[in-house]
Structure 1
Amino acid sequence: MQKVTPFLSFDGQAEQAANFYVSLLPNSRIDRIVRSPMDAQEGSAGSVMLVEFTLAGTQYIALNTPGFTFTEAVSFMIACEDQAETDRLWAALTANGGAEVACGWLKDRWGVFWQVTPTRLMELIRDPDTARARRAFDAMCQMIKIDIAAVEKAADGV
């Protein structure tokens, strides 16, 4: 068991959310579904109470908790290898009621906030040439979904 595990509260859709998330990334799976031993606020006896799942190698727990909602105060960053992965994850996470936010951030259909971040973007904004890093950062700030080629052009001063 890992020392710290993100614990997410969903309003009755923990199993659906966990199944969706594990379908997106390699090294992901549903580890265990725990059903309620009795009638409770979270549901009737036998209903899904919590879902233990692994997402890209990190363990999570999703709990069915009525009335809880997510805020942008907590988000999950996905490091994307290229534009194709960025585009695929962006489309999947914004579908069916998700929403684009800004600068690579989005909110999925359950209200969970994600940062779909190309690793190349992080390299560019960490560039030791501060003018180059600033141009990359400025370009990112003008975007909703990150366009790696456009950020590279901006970093290069094109």
Structure 2
Amino acid sequence: MQKIVPCLWFDGNGEEVINFYTGIFPNSRVTDRLHWPANGPGPKDGSLLTATFELFGQEFMILNGGPDYKFTPALSLYVPCETQAEVDHYWDKLLEGGGKPVKCGWLTDRYGVSWQVAPQAMTRMFQDKDPEKAGRAMRAMMEMTKLDLATVQKAYEGR
């Protein structure tokens, strides 16, 4: 059992959110659902109150808490990728249905959740002991919206 589970607050569309996220990430599953009780506070229609689900084995909870709170980029979900094809897949899928690209590998999905989709090889370039190489890679990345590993690699190598 995971000791800390991120809980994401939504305004009544939690079931739709779960279907969206579990449809993007392989090996995803819903592990629990709790519906509003008929005799309790809140909606009397038995709609979803909370649900837990896993993406790549990472547990998350959603709460259909109402319109009171919204997401900000101060908290984002990071998707480390091994290949450009993986970056492209997650980037495109997370933008479907009204998401917005931001900058430097960040995007906001149609539900307002911020994501970072980045190739791990790029992080290794930024950590290079040669400050010139690392700096060239970082400067190239800072000019991008969706990250392009080949372009950053060329900058890193000084080409």
Structure 1 contact 78–116 (Cα < 8 Å) conserved = yes
Give a deviation string over 1:73-132, Cα, whole Å, max 9, x none: 000100111111111111111111100000000000000000001111111111121111
Using the aligned pairs only, state the percent identity: 42
Aligned counterpart, 1:61 = 61
Give the aligned residue type for 1:23.
Answer: G
Matches within 5 A, 1:41-80: 41=42, 43-67=43-67, 68-80=69-81
Structure 1 contact 83–147 (Cα < 8 Å) conserved = yes
Within 2, Cα distance between the matches of 1:146 and 1:128? Answer: 22
What are the ranges of 5 or more consecutive residues in structure 1 without an aligned counterpart?
Answer: none
Aligned counterpart, 1:133 = 134
Aligned counterpart, 1:92 = 93
Normalised to the residue count of structure 2, the TM-score between the two structures is 0.94
Within 2, Cα distance between the matches of 1:150 and 1:59? Answer: 34
Normalised to the residue count of structure 1, the TM-score between the two structures is 0.95
Within 2, Cα distance between the matches of 1:3 and 1:61? Answer: 13
After the TM superposition, which parts of structure 1 deviate over 2 Å for at least 4 consecutive aligned residues? Answer: 38-41
Aligned counterpart, 1:101 = 102
Give the CA deviation at 1:44: 2.6
Classify the secondary structure of the residue corresponding to 1:77. strand
Number of residue pairs aligned between Structure 1 and Structure 2: 157
Is 1:117–2:121 an aligned residue pair? no
Give the CA deviation at 1:54: 0.7
What are the ranges of 5 or more consecutive residues in structure 2 without an aligned counterpart?
Answer: none
Give a deviation string over 1:32-65, Cα, whole Å, max 9, x none: 1111113544x33411111100111111100101
Task: Give the root-mean-square deviation of aligned CA atoms.
Answer: 1.2
Give the CA deviation at 1:20: 1.3
Structure 1 contact 15–50 (Cα < 8 Å) conserved = no
Within 2, Cα distance between the matches of 1:127 and 1:19? Answer: 39
Structure 1 contact 19–30 (Cα < 8 Å) conserved = no
Within 2, Cα distance between the matches of 1:23 and 1:119? Answer: 23
